[in-house]
Amino acid sequence: MGNDDVKGAYSGNNSDTKESNIGSDKIGAPVRRTSRKSSGKTTHNEANMEVLLEIREDLSITVQNVQTVGEEQEDPELTLLAKKTLEKKSSSSLGSSLFGSTSQHIRQVSQDLIRLASHTRTSFTSKRFNHVELAAVQALKGLKFITTEKNDWSAVEKRFDEFTSSTNGLLLSAKFGECIGMNNSKEFASELFRALARKYKASGGDCICCTINKAQLKDFWDQISDESFDSRLRTFFDMIDKDADGIITKNEVKEIISLSASANKLSNIQKQAEEYAEFIVEVLDPDQVGYIKVHNLETLLLQATNQSVRTGERQSLIQSLCQDLEPTKEKNLLRRWYQKIKYFLMDNWQRVWIVMLWFGIVSGLFAYKYLQYRNKAAYEVMGYCLCIAKGGAETLKFNMALILLPICRNTITWLRNKTKLGLAVPFDDNLNFHKVIAAGIAIGVVLHSGAHLICDFPRLIQASEDEYEPMKPYFGEEQPENYWWFLKGVEGVTGIIMVVLMAIAFTLATPWFRRSATLKVPKPFKRFTGYNAFWYSHHLFVIVYALLVVHGFYLYLTKIWYQKTTWMYLAVPVLLYACERLIRTFRSRFKPVNILKVVVYPENVLALHMFVPCGFKYKSGQYMFVKCPTISPFQWHPFSITSAPGDGDLSVHIRKLGDWTLQLNSVFSKVCKPAPGGRSGVLIAQGGGNDPGFPNILIDGPYGAPAQDYKKYDVVLLVGLGIGATPMISIVKDIINNMEKEDNSLESALENGTANNRNSNKVSPLIKTRKAYMYWVTKEQRSFEWFREIMNEVAEMDKKRVIELHNYCTSVYEEGDARSALISMLQSLQYAKNGVDVVSDTHVKSHFARPNWRQVYKRISFLHPQSRIGVFYCGAPTAVKEIRQLASEFSHNGSTKFDFHKENF
């Protein structure tokens, strides 16, 4: 069999093409098959799909190219899906049956490709419709009032019985929303109730607007749960048409916009309800009669019904092809467990070997000390308890020394930036490892103090004179008679103080106390929670380390100085940590930075824009510490840097989440004034040459963070929740700046006399990244104000479409819900006409509800096969588990690999 390949082209729409020809060709003879085209002009339903195949020496078939013949454009997602599906289906055939089996698979898949090609062509023909009208139609395609999957009539009936137990079987209108499952939209539910009541009464019923019985509720339920779109559209129209005259005026549209905006917590839209109402009426009133009728909406719907159906079918077909590419679940339990363990080790091998090394050292030290005291005379009196106490003490000394290293941030930043240790050492998990060591210290304290107090001290007190005789060189001529003898000594006093101080520090470092917002405590005790309490209590360890050295010097059973090893364990780590603190002190130079501008945004976010200090060199994704001596002369707080190295300033965005940030926001708000241009809730103050009375700000950094490694990847997925978008904003800006520099370098090289040979001027890329997907998820509409200018700037500068921005507002109900239908239509109309999103007020169109992360991963994996994607997450821990698990799942089950990274402060 020769090295030549067989390449063939298969036309999907050609039903009379003979598949047997594929198998009858001789291996090694290049053959190209083209489809017979119909005479005359190609219709919209006749789309030619050309599939270019390659038959390799091992009889496997790969797809070289898939394209729609005669199309001006092709759908890259469709092409990629078709290629992967054909490769998967055709590579399983072997031997003489390969060609017949493969042709059967190709024939099966080709039918789907014909339909997909037809839908692709339809997307071009849809341009004959007014794109603004189509936007309105697409927004109204759902109109679900309730979700019946988990909210059926039996559940509604049960709630009805509960609510009417004291009202003689009559449901109050105020309880209607809660009864049907609209707990968080009572105003919207009340309006829906009134609309249904008007309709019910008009049809001859005796319904009154304040109460209904179960039969009437069932009638209402049947109407709002009707799967017919026409019925749902009619109900929605009735909600708007409050006077039931069959027409909708601008004022009625304004009221329903205000109601919908209130239900979705969109305060800005609520303020502009009249303006938006006029806009909607203008679009949906083609005859300019001054009002809207239901047939206006129906006409728009019918105009593009074919388009909507085809779009839905296309998505269904794509999902079907995606399902073919998903692996089947392993049925064997043992193999499934083996796969889980294997995948866990593959994803966490750096963490695993570090933890195992630490555990091995700790176990070895415990065993060493245990055996050492097992062979001493004191063992005969104090028993195994003495061995356990001394073993625990040895692990304590080691862990108290080691716990300082993960918080030596300058050292860790230098190691990750200047050495290759980052390939094997997970520097990004330094704080997690710090917590693991803290748990080891807690266990050591329990073993050491517990064994002494509960076991070996009582045995020593109860020992006979003969048994105590060998103990006199260590405990004195007089045998201890009670616990007080041990507690009043230096060893006892220092031990008790250390245990108390560590208990306080450990307790206030827990998430419940550190994040006081989640802990409900009486007001007098509130001051003992929050970041301040954590920060100050952690500095009690200065006293603990001093007492530890003293405690280690006055030992009962060790009298020789070089056998007292506590100071030996602590010397180097304490010295290194002390140098770290000195570096931080001198680097801040006790001189405040010059503040360029301060902006106080809605939702309690403060943006500080500063001049970049001399020698302050940072990377996008890194963070720095900020101190405000006016609030506290000691506290340093970490914040991600939101500016990019190419920007003219240095900026951080600080959200009010605790006591320190609350005071910082307060002191800067006092010197700010309302922003010009009517930006609601925004305060601003300019610095520079002016002196508006800013409090002094000191900075320290920069420090390394996981997000700074984005440059290692061709493609990155950036996920930010709330204020967690700050490092992602810096990365996005950095990518745009570097792309612009590359373009300028190329233009400069071409202008320097070598423009005739463009290929000889290969400008080396500044960064590896060539595509970025950013997902920003926030709860409130006003949060988009934080980075509005940056979003618009990126959208305008990104000429190559390198950055794909996705904003999600979780306060808005998902697409298809009646509560967000009018908002969705308004958004589509406004964006289609002006290119501005009504939710975020940027050029980036916002999505509603939460992202479907599985679909996000699936889409990226299909668009970037055989690639390694960097996934960077920053924000609340709520979504970490799902995003990390999906990254692992898609990495193991597909050709696209996802490396997950999470920010840790």
pLDDT at res. 151: 59
Return the beta strands (E) in 513-578 as ranges.
Answer: none
Mean pLDDT of 718-737: 90
* Per-residue tokens: 178: 């809660």
Mean pLDDT of 646-674: 86
pLDDT at res. 396: 93
Provide the pLDDT confidence category of residue 749 given band limits of 50, 70 and 90. low
pLDDT at res. 135: 52
Encode pLDDT of 86-124 as tens digits.
555 444 444 444 444 445 555 555 555 555 444 444 443
Residues 6+ apart with CB under 8 A from 302: none
Distance CA 518, CA 530 (A): 10
Amino acid 410 reads N
* Per-residue tokens: 311: 């779009």
The number of residues making up the chain comes to 905
Mean pLDDT of 37-50: 43
**Is the alpha carbon torsion for 360, 366, 371, 372 positive or negative?**
positive
Token pair 């137990």 in the structure block, residue: 165
Encode pLDDT of 839-873 as tens digits.
888 888 888 888 889 989 988 988 888 889 999 99
For the cut 80, the answer to whether the pLDDT of residue 83 exceeds it is no
Distance CA 222, CA 220 (A): 5
Mean pLDDT of 703-714: 88
pLDDT at res. 266: 84
Mean pLDDT of 302-326: 46
For the cut 80, the answer to whether the pLDDT of residue 476 exceeds it is no
What's the chain's Rg over C-alpha atoms?
35
pLDDT winner (highest mean) among 218-232, 252-266, 702-716: 702-716
Which of 884, 783, 891 minimizes the C-alpha distance to 841?
Answer: 783
pLDDT at res. 77: 52
pLDDT winner (highest mean) among 6-20, 191-205, 295-309, 628-642: 628-642
727 or 114, greater pLDDT? 727
pLDDT at res. 155: 81
Strand, helix or coil for residue 786: helix
Encode pLDDT of 254-278 as tens digits.
887 888 888 788 888 888 888 888 8
671 or 35, greater pLDDT? 671
pLDDT at res. 353: 94
Distance CA 654, CA 661 (A): 7
Cis amide bond preceding 674, omega within 30: no
| Alpha helices by DSSP H, 687-812 | 726-749, 788-797
- What 3 state SS string does 41-78 have? CCCCCCCEEEEEEEECCCCCEEEEEEEEECCCCCCHHH
Q: How far apart are the first and last CA of the chain?
A: 61
For the cut 90, the answer to whether the pLDDT of residue 404 exceeds it is yes
For the cut 70, the answer to whether the pLDDT of residue 757 exceeds it is no
348: how many CB neighbours lie within 10 A of its CB? 14
Amino acid 794 reads V
| Alpha helices by DSSP H, 44-174 | 76-90, 98-125, 131-139, 153-163
Distances, alpha carbon 94 to alpha carbons 69, 86, 418, in Å = 30, 15, 51
Token pair 């840097």 in the structure block, residue: 641
For the cut 60, the answer to whether the pLDDT of residue 163 exceeds it is yes
For the cut 70, the answer to whether the pLDDT of residue 414 exceeds it is yes
- The helices-and-strands tally (H runs, E runs) of the chain is 34, 19
Which of 837, 851, 843, 772 minimizes the C-alpha distance to 808?
Answer: 851
158: how many CB neighbours lie within 10 A of its CB? 11
Please state the pTM of the whole predicted model.
Answer: 0.74
Mean pLDDT of 271-296: 78
For the cut 50, the answer to whether the pLDDT of residue 302 exceeds it is no
Strand, helix or coil for residue 134: helix
pLDDT at res. 76: 52
Amino acid 448 reads H
Distance CA 821, CA 420 (A): 53
pLDDT at res. 685: 84
548 membership: H or E segment, kind and range? helix 541-553
pLDDT at res. 502: 92
Mean pLDDT of 446-461: 86
pLDDT winner (highest mean) among 228-242, 307-321, 672-686, 836-850: 836-850
**Average pLDDT, whole number, for the chain?**
75
Token pair 């423009």 in the structure block, residue: 755
Token pair 């073919």 in the structure block, residue: 324
302 membership: H or E segment, kind and range? helix 294-303
pLDDT at res. 753: 56
For the cut 90, the answer to whether the pLDDT of residue 546 exceeds it is yes
Q: Per-residue b/e over 779-816, b at no fewer than 16 CB within 10 Å?
A: ebbbbbbbbbebbbbbeeebeeebbebbbbbbbbbbbb
Distance CA 413, CA 547 (A): 31
For the cut 70, the answer to whether the pLDDT of residue 46 exceeds it is no
For the cut 60, the answer to whether the pLDDT of residue 350 exceeds it is yes
Provide the pLDDT confidence category of residue 510 given band limits of 50, 70 and 90. confident
Q: Are 888 and 347 in contact (CB under 8 A)?
A: yes
* Per-residue tokens: 309: 């159906």
Distance CA 113, CA 106 (A): 10
- Please tell me the least confidently modeled range out of 527-531, 569-573, 618-622: 527-531
Distance CA 521, CA 658 (A): 15
Encode pLDDT of 770-810 as tens digits.
899 999 998 888 888 888 888 888 888 887 888 889 999 88
Provide the pLDDT confidence category of residue 61 given band limits of 50, 70 and 90. very low
Task: For Cα atoms 685, 686, 691, give the angle at the middle one, nearest 5 degrees.
Answer: 100
Q: Is 847 exposed, middle or buried (0-12, 13-18, 19+ CB in 10 A)?
A: buried
Q: Are 655 and 723 in contact (CB under 8 A)?
A: yes
For the cut 80, the answer to whether the pLDDT of residue 551 exceeds it is yes
For the cut 80, the answer to whether the pLDDT of residue 162 exceeds it is yes
Encode pLDDT of 598-656 as tens digits.
988 887 889 999 988 888 889 999 999 998 888 888 888 889 999 998 888 899 999 88
- Please tell me the least confidently modeled range out of 64-73, 607-616, 842-851, 893-902: 64-73
Distance CA 781, CA 810 (A): 9
Which of 905, 821, 851 minimizes the C-alpha distance to 236?
Answer: 821
42 or 250, greater pLDDT? 250
Mean pLDDT of 895-905: 83
Report the percentage of the chain scoring pLDDT > 70: 71
Q: Per-residue b/e over 877-888, b at no fewer than 16 CB within 10 Å?
A: eebeeebbebbb
Token pair 């593959």 in the structure block, residue: 346
Strand, helix or coil for residue 11: strand
What is the side-by-side strand order in the sheet with 868-874? 846-848, 803-809, 771-778, 715-721, 868-874, 897-902
Q: Are 137 and 329 in contact (CB under 8 A)?
A: no
For the cut 70, the answer to whether the pLDDT of residue 51 exceeds it is no
Q: Report phi then psi at 684, rounded to 5.
A: -145, 150
